[in-house]
């Protein structure tokens, strides 16, 4: 295979991957952020304490999160058809990717939000703020560096999952590596794909870390900034005692 | 301005019950600085958190500026609109400042105004004015992480004042600060109290805080207020633990057959030569074991520990003479007897 043969394949694959991962990340953030916050708020001692709701959400999230992606994809076929009208192609892959990533991101959000000092919540309550104020002015902005790290982790995980999306004909970099490298012994193309994946993941990770660090430095100062592939944020933001 | 009656708070966790407040009646008058002092675990934080209902009292009522907050609270666990509105008129400062690290100093001060729905322009005008009041106008654009502890607490105070409160609650506001910074923060609170007519309820475990700025004080033990009153009332109360702690004098008796008494002078009593009169009138030798002059709540107060020859029974008449002069007399040793009898 020559470079001129590979190039359009790779280009298309890159776009397919970014398309799938981009949309499913967006959906995962939109769905996982409120879910993660709700997990904190409904917990014992939380602002919207509701033990039953907390247990139910927690259980659903755990099950969805531990489900192997390939099984999730198959299990969700009819749901995917209802939404996208098809079970193959890029759009069809986005549905299971997003649904797999929502609980994944939600747990990371939960961990990040729990790190927020409860004193800040109390301060806002003492000013007369309601629960929504607390979420909007305290929980989200104060955990933003960790939330960005969490989103980065989710993107990287989604790139991994999207490799399996090839099985429903969605294309993407992972699909190329499997089809050409594994099935047709095009070792050259496979290694190039691997290299491209490595570069894409590194760039995303770097951008995410950079953004998180910048925000963190602005606010925190003393604590260590979130590090590469850290699931949890760094220590609580600096608090002089 | 702040009145609690029969305030009780019982924490229940995993079947265990802790009574943090046990029928607290507190009365803070308008425009005064009121200090609640007590050891760790006495229930001070529970008390102050019940005042703005961050903590729901198990029983009893709280009223602030004529509004019965416990009635506004409703039955659910969440604070309704009425209670939130009332809270916005009560400022609160915290031991660990509780500033949002994601916001600049100015934005932190603006936060209560955002909650009140004040317009952007008015918010920033007010925030800058308050930062000027606490002496931090040059730090408006800094982030809390770039400030020292004392500066953070000044921001906390500016923020607490943003909603034009009549009442300021302070939960160990100086406990995380060094002595020098503590003094400057206390001075600021005192100035605000004077300038704005702000009523301040502060809790502390440090006697110096009470001594330097409080008009009134209460001593808390095991969820109860065991002593309370204005500082001069307390100093005039025989056997007052708070008075003794506020203004200690030392010195031990030189023998068994001696009577040791503490004499407290306040106001014009401080200027009369009572000790020499006593000595002359009864022809007794008086030794001074210890003495101190100090300013408590802005008044000159003197305390002296003296020793009279002979046991207490022989000195009833001279002690009576001193009491007639309008002095407050505590017989050392007798105090312990009185206290033991009360138990
Ligand atoms: N949220 C809580 N849950 C259970 N017990 C509590 C809680 N808050 C305080 N307590 C208990 O109530 C008592 C009084 O505490 P606190 O009001 O914090 O005292 P202080 O501020 O004087 O140190 C302590 O025994 C403490 O352990
Ligand atoms: Mg306390």
DSSP-assigned states of every residue in B6-35: EEEEEEEETTEEEEEEEEEEEEE-TT-EEE
Q: Which domain holds residue B303?
A: 247-342
Same-domain status, B106 and B254: no
Q: Which domain holds residue A107?
A: 3-240
pLDDT at A219: 61
Q: Which residues of B touch A49 (CB under 8 A)?
A: 77
Burial class (CB in 10 A: 0-12, 13-18, 19+), A124: buried
**Is B242 a member of any domain?**
no
Same-domain status, B32 and B106: yes
Picking from A12-16, A229-233, B145-149, B336-340, which range would have the lowest pLDDT averaged per residue? A229-233
**Is B28 a member of any domain?**
yes
Which of A122, A123, A141 to probe the B interface (max B CBs under 10 A)?
A: A123
Express each pLDDT in B214-270 by its tens digit.
999 999 999 999 999 998 888 777 778 888 777 777 777 777 788 888 888 877 666
For the cut 90, the answer to whether the pLDDT of residue B9 exceeds it is yes
Last residue of a domain, one of B235, B255, B287: B235
CA of B48 to the centre of ligand 2 (A): 9
Q: What is the CATH number of the domain that holds B27?
A: 3.40.50.300
**Is B38 a member of any domain?**
yes
For the cut 50, the answer to whether the pLDDT of residue A234 exceeds it is no
Nearest CA to ligand 1 atom 11: B20
Express each pLDDT in B195-227 by its tens digit.
999 999 999 988 888 888 999 999 999 999 999
Residue A178 Cα, gap to closest chain B Cα (Å) = 45
B4: phi then psi, degrees, rounded to nearest 5: -120, 145
Whole-model pTM?
0.83
Same-domain status, B20 and B78: yes
Last residue of a domain, one of B235, B255, B280: B235
For the cut 70, the answer to whether the pLDDT of residue A237 exceeds it is no
Q: Which residues of B touch A222 (CB under 8 A)?
A: 145
Percent residues over pLDDT 70 in chain A: 90
**Is B321 a member of any domain?**
yes
Same-domain status, B66 and B175: yes
pLDDT at B334: 57
**Is B240 a member of any domain?**
no
Same-domain status, B137 and B255: no
Same-domain status, B31 and B129: yes
pLDDT at A88: 85
Q: Which residues of B touch A144 (CB under 8 A)?
A: 102
Express each pLDDT in B58-110 by its tens digit.
999 999 999 899 988 877 677 788 899 999 999 999 999 999 999 999 999 99
Same-domain status, B187 and B252: no
Least CA distance to A237: which residue of chain B? B101
Same-domain status, B230 and B257: no
Same-domain status, B198 and B263: no
Domain count, chain B: 2
pLDDT at A229: 38
- Euclidean distance between CA atoms B19 and B39, whole angstroms: 15
Same-domain status, B319 and B217: no
CA of B204 to the centre of ligand 2 (A): 8
- Euclidean distance between CA atoms A51 and A42, whole angstroms: 7
Q: What is the CATH number of the domain that holds A214?
A: 1.10.3720.10
- Residue B20 Cβ inside 6 Å of ligand 1? The answer reads yes
Cβ contact B53:B63 at 8 Å: no
Across the interface, whether the CB atoms of B52 and A241 are under 8 A apart is answered no
**Is B304 a member of any domain?**
yes
pLDDT at B159: 97
Least CA distance to A132: which residue of chain B? B115
**Is B82 a member of any domain?**
yes
């Amino acid at each position: 295979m020559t470079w001129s043969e590979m190039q359009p394949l790779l280009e298309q694959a890159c776009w397919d991957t970014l398309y799938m991962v981009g949309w499913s990340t967006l959906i995962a953030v939109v769905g996982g952020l409120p879910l993660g916050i709700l997990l904190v708020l409904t917990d014992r001692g939380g602002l919207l304490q509701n033990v039953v709701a907390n247990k139910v959400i927690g259980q659903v999230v755990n099950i969805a999160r531990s489900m192997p992606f390939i099984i999730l994809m198959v299990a969700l076929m009819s749901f995917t058809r209802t939404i996208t009208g098809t079970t193959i192609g890029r759009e069809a892959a986005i549905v299971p990717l997003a649904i797999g990533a929502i609980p994944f991101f939600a747990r990371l959000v939960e961990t990040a939000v729990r790190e927020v000092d409860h004193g800040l919540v109390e301060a806002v309550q003492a000013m007369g703020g309601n629960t929504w104020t607390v979420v909007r002015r305290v929980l989200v902005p104060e955990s933003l560096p960790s939330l960005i790290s969490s989103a980065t982790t989710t993107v990287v995980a989604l790139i991994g999952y999207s490799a399996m999306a090839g099985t429903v004909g969605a294309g993407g970099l992972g699909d190329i590596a499997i089809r050409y490298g594994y099935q047709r012994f095009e070792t050259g193309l496979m290694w190039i794909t691997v290299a491209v994946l490595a570069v894409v993941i590194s760039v995303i990770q770097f951008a995410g870390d950079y953004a998180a660090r910048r925000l963190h430095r602005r606010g925190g100062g003393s604590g260590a900034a979130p590090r590469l592939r850290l699931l949890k944020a760094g220590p609580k933001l600096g608090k002089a005692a | 301005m702040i009145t609690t009656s029969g305030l009780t708070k019982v924490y229940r966790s995993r079947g265990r019950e802790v009574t943090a407040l046990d029928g607290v009646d507190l009365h803070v008058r308008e425009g005064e600085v009121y200090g609640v002092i007590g050891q760790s675990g006495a229930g001070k934080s529970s008390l102050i958190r019940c005042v703005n209902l961050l903590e729901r009292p198990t029983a009893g009522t709280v009223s602030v500026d004529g509004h019965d907050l416990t009635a506004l609270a409703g039955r659910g666990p969440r604070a309704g609109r009425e209670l939130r509105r009332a809270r916005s008129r009560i400022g609160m400062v915290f031991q660990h400042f509780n500033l949002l690290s994601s916001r600049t100093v100015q934005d932190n001060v603006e936060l209560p105004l955002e909650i009140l729905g004040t317009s952007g322009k008015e918010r920033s005008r007010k925030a800058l004015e308050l930062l000027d009041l606490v002496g931090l106008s040059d730090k408006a654009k800094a982030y809390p992480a770039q400030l020292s502890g004392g500066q953070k607490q000044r921001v906390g105070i500016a923020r607490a004042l943003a909603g034009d409160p009549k009442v300021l609650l302070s939960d160990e506001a100086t406990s995380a600060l060094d002595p020098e910074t503590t003094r400057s923060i206390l001075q600021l609170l005192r100035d605000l109290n004077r300038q704005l007519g702000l009523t301040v309820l502060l809790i502390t475990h440090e006697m110096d805080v009470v001594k330097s700025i409080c008009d009134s004080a209460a001593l808390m033990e095991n969820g109860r207020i065991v002593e309370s009153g204005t500082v001069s009332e307390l100093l005039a109360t025989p056997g007052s633990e708070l008075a003794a702690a506020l203004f200690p004098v030392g010195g031990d008796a030189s023998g068994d057959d001696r009577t040791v008494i503490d004499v407290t002078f306040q106001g014009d009593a401080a200027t009369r030569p009572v000790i020499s009169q006593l000595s002359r009138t009864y022809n007794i030798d008086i030794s001074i074991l210890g003495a101190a002059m100090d300013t408590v709540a802005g008044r000159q107060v003197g305390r002296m520990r003296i020793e009279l020859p002979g046991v207490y029974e022989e000195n009833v008449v001279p002690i009576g003479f001193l009491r007639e002069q309008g002095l407050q007399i505590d017989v050392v040793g007798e105090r312990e007897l009185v206290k033991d009898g009360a138990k």
